[in-house]
Amino acid sequence: MPDYRRRAAREAMSVRLDVNGMMAEAIGQAGVGTDEVDGLAMRAVETAHALQAKRAAGELPFYDLPYQKEAIGITKALAAELRAECDTLVVLGIGGSALGTKTLLSALEPTRRVIVADNVDPWTFGKLLDGLDLTRTAFNVISKSGETAETMAQFLIIRDLLLRQLGAVDYARHVVITTDADAGALRQIVHDEGFRSLDVPPGVGGRFSVLTAVGLFPATIAGLRIDDLLAGAAWMDSRCQESKLWQNPAHLLSTLLYLADTQRRQNIVVVMPYSDRLRDFGAWFTQLWAESLGKAETVDGAPTHVGQTPLTAVGATDQHSLLQLLVEGPADKVVIMLRVEDHGREIPIPEAYADLDSLGYLGGAGLGQLLNREQYATELALVQQQRPVITLTLPQLNPFALGQLFYLFEAAVVFAGALYRVNPLDQPGVQASNRLTYAQMGRAGFENERAAVEAWVARKRSEYIL
């Protein structure tokens, strides 16, 4: 196991950002010119300073999550307690309360069963409940606000189930609540019913919370090495302190994506890991990028709508699905490939059928070798068609690398928010849907929305329904 206190170990496991396939030298007019990047250098420096000042003032606490020794200690201690009491942890959470944990569980090697329930589909939630031994199961209910409808509905169901099956004395030991330290309904319930609990630190939104108790508690239960994860994040943090734009991975990444979007109409970002285990990372990235940058802003009195659309593809699988569109369709995409140098396992392809042209060439190589050669082939095929591509290489897929990835994209999206001049920390656009749901559920105070719900049914024209 590498000792990441040593700089050589950190360097050796450093995630490498290769932007060659994004630049004009490689792909002509579809690529970004060095002059364009340099043209933004002054603004980039100002932006970096402004963010640094906010960080120092405690206004962007996500930056400092790798260093919260006390909170991390509390999380570990509670996880140790729970590991002694249960075989299975079920996380009840959605969006930012789920996506980081799902990424960790599928990318790494859990030694204990942790399941994330992040929807209210009665079929899948029912199947999940059917298969649980409640006496050996704990539930981690996660909602910063303490009022997320989906998570609260799940909580009401499992609380009732626990009460009925385990009784009023024991049920509380099967629930751990992760929520705001002071406010909200869940914190109130913690006080009233004596559940064990963890805090989501103030000022850290869901999509920036994977390195808080939100992600670290289930990860520790699963037996993952969270110290390495945090060390990876800290290492990327140190790399992202670099003042020169050309040497700062987060700032260079977001500057290039911003220029691609605003100067080249490349408004779709495809994250394409060549590793099944990073599929969920794509989903994590999707939330981060879409919610942080997909914003309406008013410029000179007129509303404008910004934000790149994120999309996940998995190599080599989706070479047989999306690649045709990426290569020949509209030139509106940037592809970010994630390449894993050492997959942690290799499977040799046996030599056979030497007489058959279309099979004989495969023997002797390894499956991982084939996968990585396909990544390289597709990178080059995109470049040959003047399609921009960035490659992030992970020496191995381990907690240290994943910590780097999380931190890199979080730092990048906040930087991009400044370039787009939007607030990357809010998500005002989701309120209308929430209110219209409350209205249908009969929640008090949403009578106007109820009228809107009924009006929409009434307005529908039957000739438009087939």
Of positions 122, 133, 167, 299, contacts a second copy by CB under 8 A: 122
- Residue 7, interface with a second copy (CB under 8 A)? no
Residues 347 to 366: which contact a second copy by CB under 8 A? 347-350, 352-353, 356-359, 361-363, 365-366
Number of residues that bind a second copy (CB under 8 A): 147
- Stretch of 47-55, 70-78, 209-217, 448-456 contacting a second copy, by CB under 8 A: 448-456
* Closest CB 92 distance from a second copy, rounded Å: 12
**Torsion angle of alpha carbons 218, 221, 222, 223, nearest 10°?**
130
- Residue 19, interface with a second copy (CB under 8 A)? yes
The 265-294 site mask, x for binding a second copy (CB under 8 A), equals --xx-----xxxx-----x--xx--xx-xx
* Whole-angstrom distance, CA of residue 409 vs CA of residue 251: 10
* Closest CB 60 distance from a second copy, rounded Å: 19
* Closest CB 70 distance from a second copy, rounded Å: 29
Q: Which amino acid is at 170?
A: D
Closest C-alpha among 96, 110, 92 to residue 62: 96
Residues 45 to 74: which contact a second copy by CB under 8 A? none
Of positions 30, 118, 199, 218, contacts a second copy by CB under 8 A: 118
Question: Which SS3 state, helix, strand or coil, does residue 201 take?
Answer: coil
For 157-301, strand residue ranges (E) read 175-180, 196-200, 268-273, 295-299
Residues 144 to 163: which contact a second copy by CB under 8 A? 146-150, 152-153, 156-157, 159-160
Residues 299 to 338: which contact a second copy by CB under 8 A? 305-307, 309, 311, 314, 316-317, 319-333
Are the C-beta atoms of residues 224 and 230 closer than 8 Å to each other? Answer: no
User: For tokens 């962007």, what's the residue?
Assistant: 60
Residues 371 to 390: which contact a second copy by CB under 8 A? 371, 373-374, 376-381, 383-385
How, if at all, do strands 333-342 and 389-396 pair?
parallel
What would you report as the CA-atom Rg of the chain, rounded to the nearest whole angstrom?
24
Q: Phi/psi at 195 (nearest 5 deg)?
A: -70, 150
- Stretch of 77-85, 117-125, 219-227, 230-238 contacting a second copy, by CB under 8 A: 117-125
* Whole-angstrom distance, CA of residue 23 vs CA of residue 393: 18
How, if at all, do strands 295-299 and 302-306 pair?
antiparallel
The nearer residue to a second copy, 82 or 389, going by C-beta atoms, is 389
The nearer residue to a second copy, 170 or 193, going by C-beta atoms, is 193
- Stretch of 3-11, 53-61, 68-76, 340-348 contacting a second copy, by CB under 8 A: 340-348
Of positions 238, 243, 429, 451, contacts a second copy by CB under 8 A: 429
Q: Would you tell me the crossing angle of helices 399-420 and 226-239 to the nearest 10 degrees?
A: 40
Cα angle 245, 291, 450 (rounded to 5 degrees) comes to 160
- Stretch of 62-70, 165-173, 208-216, 453-461 contacting a second copy, by CB under 8 A: 453-461
For 113-242, strand residue ranges (E) read 113-117, 137-142, 175-180, 196-200
Contacting residues for 415 by C-beta, under 8 A, at least 6 apart: 47, 48, 51, 250, 251, 254, 255
Residues 199 to 218: which contact a second copy by CB under 8 A? 206
